[in-house]
Amino acid sequence: MKRQGWHFEFTAGEVAVAAEARVTHHRERLEYYQALFDVADKQIKTLGVKVDTIHHSGGHELSVSVDKAIEKEWNLYRNKLERHKTKTEEYEGWVHVLGTQPDILLPLDHEDILYFNLSGD
């Protein structure tokens, strides 16, 4: 069998519906990570920054550090926000394009089916 050569036919309308489901998924993840990011952002601003004054023979020096656990969460959630925002916009574009001719048949390969989650998983 030559799986790489297989093609499956779906209408553009069917793919548009699947793309809209991906938009919904990424919007929901965006909202979820926005809430987590907001908490981490507030924590880093209120609890995460430690400011010390170091005294030495030449005077004083300011030392600023960030709680590494909160910093790690902040970075993770910020990256997730960017990823889901990008994916939302990407799938919204597909919804618009595919909606222009919903009745045409598209020969999709396995990567296309996985990309649009046409397998239903």
pLDDT tens-digit map of 107-116? 999 999 999 9
Handedness of CA 12, 16, 17, 21 (dihedral sign): positive
Cα 43 to the center of its chain, rounded Å: 22
- Please name which of 24, 19, 43 lies closest in space to residue 102, comparing C-alpha atoms: 19
Cα–Cα distance between 109 and 104 in angstroms, integer?
16
Predicted TM-score of the model (pTM): 0.80
Q: Which residues of the chain have pLDDT under 50?
A: none
Q: What pLDDT sits at residue 1?
A: 57
Q: What pLDDT sits at residue 76?
A: 96
Cα–Cα distance between 33 and 29 in angstroms, integer?
6
Q: What angle, 0 to 180 degrees and rounded to 10, lies between the N-to-C axes of helices 12-46 and 68-98? A: 160
Q: What pLDDT sits at residue 27?
A: 98
